[in-house]
Amino acid sequence: MSFRDWLRQRYWQRIRKRPFALPTAVFQQSALVFAPHEDDETLGCGGMILQKRAAGANVGVVFMTDGRQSHAHLMPVEELIAHRRQEALDACRVLGVAEDHVSFLDFTDGYLSEAVETAVSPVLDLLQQYQPAEVFIPYIKEPPADHVATNLIVMAALKQYSQPVTVYEYPVWFWYHWPWVSLDLHHQGERKAIVKNTLSTFLGWRLFTDFNCSLDISPVLAQKCLALEQHKTQMFSLMPDKGWLTLHDVAGGDWLACFFQEKEIYRRFQSLGSS
């Protein structure tokens, strides 16, 4: 066993032993999930959504951007946007979320940080419409600008919202660091990004300092995988072009494997609202 494999194993053992497993009572709580892009909802908290819906909880999913950047060099923008919207609806259907509980705010993919002030109002409207007990947003310290912007927008809206809400930050690109992904990659740019992220997470130690609860998703893991497969533009090559990259290509597949573990982890805290 390599040192990297040993360290990952030790990390997961530590997660299993820590007394921060969420009780099944959370499945009864209504929730509103905010995803920067179409696929983040499944990657970050698909297991949570599935178990909430199985328990009959009201769950809404909000997509902040239109997803136009993922393969814009290979497909007309409007066609790609349409594909990703339909894929999101298909994935949500597998997760148990009906189409009338899915919202698209359609901010430009890659430029959400330029629309922070504009986006707060529609997010606040959705909070008032759904009145969720829990809100799910991306982890504040993971790299992509749209992920950070989603967090900032929702937190700003929660400050204006009149009700207390339990907030869960879910990791997506947090996992893009060693030891979860390898440094033995041919692409120099990707290797540099992984090294940078590894340093910023203190070799992954933020897993224990920042995240304070976990959820066993083993009963619904196969269903989560099926939901992710609905994001076809992200999971499969839709044309015979080497430039059509998928989530399987990120860090040689190591990154995607992080979402097929038996646990989802979260940073949980309380938002007290404007009152």
Residue 150 lies in a domain: yes
CA distance 148 to 140: 5
DSSP state of 72: T
Asked whether the beta carbons of 105 and 245 are under 8 A apart, the reply is no
Asked whether the beta carbons of 127 and 85 are under 8 A apart, the reply is no
Q: Please list the residues that pair with 213 across neighbouring strands.
A: 266
User: What pLDDT does residue 40 have?
Assistant: 98
Residue with tokens 């597949």: 253
Residue 191 lies in a domain: no
Residue 202 lies in a domain: no
DSSP state of 171: -
Residue 118 lies in a domain: yes
CA distance 6 to 140: 28
Residue 142 lies in a domain: yes
User: What pLDDT does residue 18 have?
Assistant: 66
Residue 195 lies in a domain: no
CATH number of the domain where residue 30 is located: 3.40.50.10320
- Burial classification of residue 165, based on how many CB atoms lie within 10 Å of its CB (0-12 exposed, 13-18 middle, 19 or more buried): buried
User: What pLDDT does residue 188 have?
Assistant: 75
Q: Residue 131: which domain range?
A: 23-171+211-248
User: What pLDDT does residue 129 have?
Assistant: 97
Q: Please list the residues that pair with 60 across neighbouring strands.
A: 32
Nearest partner of 39 among 171, 168, 175, 228, judged by Cα: 228
User: What pLDDT does residue 19 have?
Assistant: 57
Residue 259 lies in a domain: no
Count of domains observed in the chain: 1
CA distance 23 to 225: 23
Q: Which residues of 241-258 are buried (b: 16+ CB within 10 A; e: fewer)?
A: eeebebbeebbbebbbeb
Residue 17 lies in a domain: no
User: What pLDDT does residue 202 have?
Assistant: 87
User: What pLDDT does residue 21 have?
Assistant: 86
User: Distance of CA 5 to CAs 149, 211, 262, Å?
Assistant: 33, 21, 17
Q: What is the pLDDT of residues 257-272, one digit of tens each?
A: 999 999 999 999 999 8
Ramachandran category for residue 118: left, alpha or beta (phi over 0 → left; psi -120 to 50 → alpha): alpha
Q: What is the model's pTM?
A: 0.95
- Can you list the residues of the chain whose pLDDT is less than 50? none
CA distance 100 to 149: 25
